[in-house]
Amino acid sequence: MLTERQLFLLQVLVDDYILSAEPIGSRSISKREDIHFSPATIRNELADLEEMGFLEKTHLSSGRIPSEKGYRFYVDHLLSPILLSDDEMRNIRKAYTERYYEAEKLIETTAQILSDFTNCTAIVLGPELLDTKLKHIQMIRLSENRAVLIIVTDTGHVENRVVALPDEVNGSEIERMVNILNERLIGVPLYQLKVRLQQEIHAVLNEHIHHYERMMIEIEHALSVNGPDQIYYGGKNNILSQPEFRDINKVIPLLNVLEKKDLIHGLLRSPKSGIQIKIGKENKLVAIEDCSVITTTYSVDSEHVGTVAVIGPKRMAYPRVVTLLDIISKSLTNNLNSNY
């Protein structure tokens, strides 16, 4: 449907606009040395592209900017992956050379790198906990009536909660109870814990332990709150230096959304793997309808367990960000799999 030349012009215009953040006029396009036709011709073409909905004007006699449909087309059909300079590749690798003792640190660093290199906000959703399996349960008494319940998963993740001990329960009973829990629950995926507890364990405990009910309430509570997964940010404020956010009133709702963990989850958590791009209003949230979000997944043991995302203005350096996101999510996957 689009002619070669229209494709070319659309690409040039989007590329230019991404760099300059200003409406692009026919004259400035015509000055490029790879363009061999006049501003007037370009005007005609741009007018057609606008009619088709790929471009917009900010006012009657302004230059053009890409519409959301324009970005979408650009991203779907004109995105030429970019090669990073050797220098940059070295820098990325260097950032990963440190050996990380904890997965958390590694993920934090990943978010940091990604935001630094894209100049956008990077978000990494921590590994989905629910799929991991129980490795060990332990209860350590702190005082007469408090203990900390510790749950270790097979990935080495540790969850803990302080629980109240009812007066009626004595030490040996607690020990027995923990033993029972370990016998029965090791290897069970976390998301099944609560059900299994209710279905099997109650009966068993009933046989062996007196007064276990109040105790169980505490434990159930502790086990069920294996909270929403961790969210790691990098360059939270990078987006503030983009010219489209010079107005503080555009910034406030955006930053507020970033603070709302549930919204971020809803926004980023995706069933599909591979790179996905949402442009402007394609994101369901009003607060980020002027932003684009690019996500991909990373994995441990070839299961997709988490999401890596970049949030920036619609006028985002798509080719560069896509390339970086790809490289960095793969680095993260590699590092996670080789070290943990």
Partner DNA sequence: ATTAGCACTCGTTAACAAGGAGTGCTAACA
Partner DNA sequence: TGTTAGCACTCCTTGTTAACGAGTGCTAAT
Contact 10, 74 (CB under 8 A): yes
Q: What phi and psi values does residue 168 have, to the nearest 5 degrees?
A: -70, -20
Residue choice 120, 181, 209, 222 for contact with a second copy (CB under 8 A): 222
* From 19, 62, 273, 303, residue interacting with DNA (rule: CB under 7 A): 62
- Identity of residue 87: D
Instruction: Report how far residue 204's alpha carbon sits from residue 187's, in angstroms, rounded to the nearest whole number.
Output: 18
Is residue 44 part of the contact set for DNA (CB under 7 A)? Answer: yes
57 near DNA, rule: CB under 7 A: yes
Q: Which two tokens stand for residue 133?
A: 């399996």
Bridge pairing between strands 303-313 and 231-234:
unpaired
Binding residue for DNA, selected from 36, 203, 262, 302, defined by CB under 7 A: 36
How many residues in total does the chain contain? 340
Give the list of residues 6+ apart from residue 187 with CB closer than 8 angstroms, or none: 133, 134
CB 92 within 8 A of CB 322: no
Cα–Cα distance measured from residue 217 to residue 312, given in angstroms and rounded to the nearest whole number: 45
- Secondary structure string (H, E, C) spanning 63-114: CEEECHHHHHHHHHHHCCCCCCCHHHHHHHHHHHHCCCCCHHHHHHHHHHHH
Q: Tell me the closest approach of the beta carbon of residue 35 to a second copy, in angstroms.
A: 36
> Does 23 sit near DNA (CB under 7 A)?
yes
By the rule CB under 7 A, 34 interacts with DNA: no
Cα separation, 208 vs 206, in Å, equals 6
Compute the least distance from the CB of residue 47 to DNA, in Å: 4
Q: Which two tokens stand for residue 329?
A: 């999510």
Number of other residues whose CB lies within 10 A of the CB of residue 326: 16
Taking the least distance from each CB to a second copy, the nearer of 39 and 228 is 228
- Is 188 a binding residue for a second copy by CB under 8 A? The answer is no
64 binds DNA (CB under 7 A): yes
Cβ atoms of 311 and 121 closer than 8 Å: yes
Contact call for residue 56 and DNA (CB under 7 A): no
User: How many Cα atoms are found within 13 Å in the side-chain-facing hemisphere of 256?
Assistant: 9
Nearest distance in Å: CB 165, a second copy: 12
Of DNA, a second copy, none, which one sits near residue 136, judging by CB under 5 to 8 A according to partner kind?
A: a second copy
> Scanning residues 240 to 259, which ones bind a second copy (CB under 8 A)?
240-241, 245-248, 251-252, 255-256, 259
Among 21, 38, 156, 337, binds DNA (CB under 7 A): 38
Q: Report if residue 199 touches DNA, rule: CB under 7 A.
A: no
The CB-of-200 to a second copy minimum distance in angstroms stands at: 23
> Could you give the angle at which helices 212-224 and 171-185 cross, rounded to 10 degrees?
50
Q: Does 214 bind a second copy (CB under 8 A)?
A: no
Q: Does 148 interact with a second copy (rule: CB under 8 A)?
A: yes
Query: Does 101 participate in binding a second copy (rule CB under 8 A)?
Result: yes
Query: Is there binding between residue 217 and a second copy (CB under 8 A)?
Result: no
Contact flag: residue 47 with DNA (CB under 7 A):
yes
Q: Which does 11 bind (CB under 5 to 8 A by kind): DNA, a second copy, none?
A: none
In the range 25-64, which residues lie near a second copy by CB under 8 A? none
Picked from a second copy, DNA, none, the partner binding residue 236 (CB below 5 to 8 A depending on kind) is: a second copy
Contacts with a second copy by CB under 8 A lie at 101-103, 135-136, 138, 140, 142, 146, 148, 150, 152, 154-156, 158, 160-163, 221-222, 225, 236-237, 240-241, 245-248, 251-252, 255-256, 259, 340
